[in-house]
Structure 1
Amino acid sequence: MASVPAITLNNGVEIPQLGFGTFQIPPQETRETTLAALKAGYRHIDTAQMYGNEKEVGEAVRDSGLDRGDVFVTSKLDNGAHAYDDALHAFEGTMEKIRLDYLDLFLIHWPLPDRGDFVETWKALEEIYRSGRVKSIGVSNFQPHHLRRLLDGSVVVPAVNQIEVHPYLTQDAVRSFGAEHGIATEAWSPIAQGKVLDDPTLVRIAERVGKSTAQVTLRWHLQRGDIVFPKSVTRRRIEENFDLFDFELTEGDIGEINALNRDERTGLDPDRFNG
């Protein structure tokens, strides 16, 4: 089984660069699907309070037979729990559902700048981090101006920023800001919900290397240094998305894929979304 490379976060914690996403996987399918991912070799599982499947992710991790320390588990704060005490209470709810001794990573899911002060929310995450019940804390869907405000009012620098990234939305400015401040980039919607899969550039590269366009796209993410977690509910696709370590893209390939950027989102705009 291939060994997934790890990225060292700004607090020394290592995170597998390839993970498995559980967004939109129904709770009744999550346990078996996550077990299939763990069997295929994934050691990084991403969930969230809003996904409604934390309980089943926890069941899969416990039932997998793997040591807890060998599986990196992330969850994210619900948008309705941004007040300091609400955030602390919501984290307790996650731990009750997931039934693991600790989380590896806990994130603010959205900045929601018009619904409250995310700096106060971050202070709650800092308190959770100090408790030792989470190994790292971070944010999701934060733009550079959100991050600047957070950094000005915080003690702990976010370990990651999980944002939408794919060949049609390369997010160079957000990724560069993160790199300058030691914040790793995680990519959600890494294949743009399938919209990039028929792109002629990706098709041509995939034919040359003997891989699918999804595999080429995921390999592009890995070689750029992003943490990525594709999602699927079919065993064949789960295994295909893990089969990324027996080929490399050239610098020319990377440049061509970078040039596909259209600043085109498949998801919500963090500057406009307020929950």
Structure 2
Amino acid sequence: MKYIKLTNGVEIPIVGSGTNTYGKEGNQYSGALRGDTQEIDWAIENGYRHFDSAQLYLNEEVVGNGLKKSSLPREDFFITSKLKTFEGFGGADWAHAEIEKSLEKLQTDYIDLFLIHKPWDNHAEILEAWSILEDYYNRGVFKSIGVSNFEKEHLDLLLENGNIKVAVNQIKSQVGTWNEELIAYNKKNDIATVAWSPLRGIDENAKQVLEEVGNQYGKTYAQVVLRYQIERDVIVIPKSHNKDRQAQCLTIFDFELTESDRDRIAAL
């Protein structure tokens, strides 16, 4: 496994597992919880140690239960979660309550990376939310803090007014929407980039090109996409409900794309 060192020295595995449909009926985002941890169990067996969760997914307990029942110590895992701000900010008391719920559901006394899930139209509130994350960071409850879906203007707000440096920005970066400009901005400011849903957006034409590239190395189109991302130092969190495909997403460290390959992929 390759690791990315965050601005505060914390190391994050460059490949992790998404979890937003794990443990849910029909493998659907809005499905009720099934009461099992099958996908987490498979992921751990396959070698995943980085798990990306969120309050919004309504299944943090699936992650917590799966990691807890494994034979591995807590410190072997890197857990991310996120404050559910898709409908804005509910105030300091609300934020504290939601964070405590996350800690309880994840069955841990610390979270390796905690993010504000989405910006909203109130800069003062964003700064208030960030100050709450800073407090948890200073107390060691959060080992690192960052944001998700933030654009340059929101990052500027925190970089100019915050006390703790933003460690991570989790964004859309997929075939057809590589988001090069924002990734370059993140890198310039020592902010690590995480790509959510990195295997979405692949149409048939793109798939054909990726398969042609992959055939040179005995790799699938999905492995090629993930390799392209990590060669740009972009952290990826693919997700699969299939044990074998989960394993394939980790088997991307034994080949390297050529410049010509990267040019073809970048043009998709």
Q: 1:212 Cα deviation (Å)?
A: 0.7
For each residue in 1:37-59, what CA deviation from the matched residue of structure 2 results, as whole angstroms up to 9, or x when unmatched? 01101110000001111111011
Equivalent of residue 13 in structure 2, options 13, 16, 22: 16
CA shift in 2, pair 1:75/1:66, >3 Å: same
Q: 1:191 Cα deviation (Å)?
A: 1.4
State the distance in 2 between where 1:250 and 1:29 align. 45
Match of 1:72 in 2: 78
1:157 aligns with 2:157: no
- 2:144 aligned counterpart, secondary structure: strand
Q: 1:24 Cα deviation (Å)?
A: 2.5
- Whether the aligned pair in 2 keeps the contact of 1:7 and 1:17 (CA below 8 Å) is yes
CA shift in 2, pair 1:215/1:163, >3 Å: same
Equivalent of residue 129 in structure 2, options 118, 121, 124: 121
Equivalent of residue 95 in structure 2, options 87, 111, 126: 87
State the distance in 2 between where 1:177 and 1:196 align. 31
- Whether the aligned pair in 2 keeps the contact of 1:87 and 1:125 (CA below 8 Å) is no
Equivalent of residue 208 in structure 2, options 200, 216, 228: 200
- Whether the aligned pair in 2 keeps the contact of 1:18 and 1:228 (CA below 8 Å) is yes
Aligned pairs, number? 257
State the distance in 2 between where 1:128 and 1:116 align. 19
Q: 1:111 Cα deviation (Å)?
A: 0.5
Match of 1:53 in 2: 59
State the distance in 1 between where 2:133 and 2:19 align. 22
The normalised TM-score by structure 1 is 0.88
Q: 1:198 Cα deviation (Å)?
A: 4.6
Alignment gaps of 5+ in structure 2: 25-32
- 2:112 aligned counterpart, secondary structure: strand
- Whether the aligned pair in 2 keeps the contact of 1:168 and 1:196 (CA below 8 Å) is no
- 1:117 aligned counterpart, secondary structure: helix
Match of 1:37 in 2: 43
Alignment gaps of 5+ in structure 1: 261-275
- 1:74 aligned counterpart, secondary structure: strand
Match of 2:155 in 1: 147
Q: 1:61 Cα deviation (Å)?
A: 0.9
Q: 1:258 Cα deviation (Å)?
A: 1.2
State the distance in 2 between where 1:251 and 1:206 align. 14
- 1:134 aligned counterpart, secondary structure: coil
State the distance in 2 between where 1:206 and 1:105 align. 33
Q: 1:85 Cα deviation (Å)?
A: 2.7
State the distance in 2 between where 1:115 and 1:52 align. 27
Structure 1: which amino acid aligns with 2:6?
L
For each residue in 1:30-77, what CA deviation from the matched residue of structure 2 results, as whole angstroms up to 9, or x when unmatched? 622011101101110000001111111011111111121111000001
| Matched ranges for 1:218-237 at <5 A | 218-237=226-245
Note the aligned Cα RMSD (angstroms). Answer: 1.8
Equivalent of residue 187 in structure 1, options 195, 198, 213: 195
Structure 2: which amino acid aligns with 1:236?
D
Equivalent of residue 2 in structure 2, options 1, 5, 8: 5
The normalised TM-score by structure 2 is 0.91
Match of 2:254 in 1: 246
State the distance in 2 between where 1:219 and 1:42 align. 16
For each residue in 1:67-95, what CA deviation from the matched residue of structure 2 results, as whole angstroms up to 9, or x when unmatched? 21111000001125722332122111111
- Whether the aligned pair in 1 keeps the contact of 2:3 and 2:12 (CA below 8 Å) is yes
Q: 1:170 Cα deviation (Å)?
A: 1.0
